[in-house]
Amino acid sequence: MRIYYAHCIAIYDTPQEQRDIETLQQLGFEVVNPNCPESANGYKVLGMEYFRQFADTCDAIAFRALPGGSVPAGVFAEIGFFRDKGKPVIELPSSINLREMSVEETREYIRECGAR
């Protein structure tokens, strides 16, 4: 199964990019990474339309948001290409420790939802 790895160019050639690729490969995916000369050239000629092709050639998209949770415009456009095709969109985890709820916060949330 082929998965397109959408991420901000600021992450290109970093340990984070390598960790993400390894994680996706360990999950059994063949990773299509836009961090390559062909994609750079395609973008120069066609802009973001170049990346639309990957929605046809891949089964799903995995993306990495920025540390604060924002999604860069280009990555968001790529996600849209896959959504338009009805293909799965997977967000790679980010800042998990910052989103952790305490046991008491979790219990309060469950009460507010009416589950208990």
Structure confidence by residue, pLDDT tens digits, 66-114 = 988 899 999 999 999 999 999 999 999 876 666 788 899 999 999 999 8
Contact 21, 32 (CB under 8 A): no
Long-range contacts, 93-101 (Cβ 8 Å, 24+): 94/64, 94/65, 94/66, 94/67, 94/69, 95/67, 95/68, 95/69
Does the domain at 2-113 match CATH 2.60.120.10? Answer given as no
Residue spans of the domains in the chain: they are: 2-113
User: Distance between CA atoms of 34 and 61, rounded to whole angstroms?
Assistant: 12
Quick check: 60 pLDDT over 90? yes
This prediction has a pTM of: 0.82
- Per-residue pLDDT, 98: 67
- Per-residue pLDDT, 96: 64
- Per-residue pLDDT, 95: 63
Quick check: 36 pLDDT over 80? yes
- Per-residue pLDDT, 67: 83
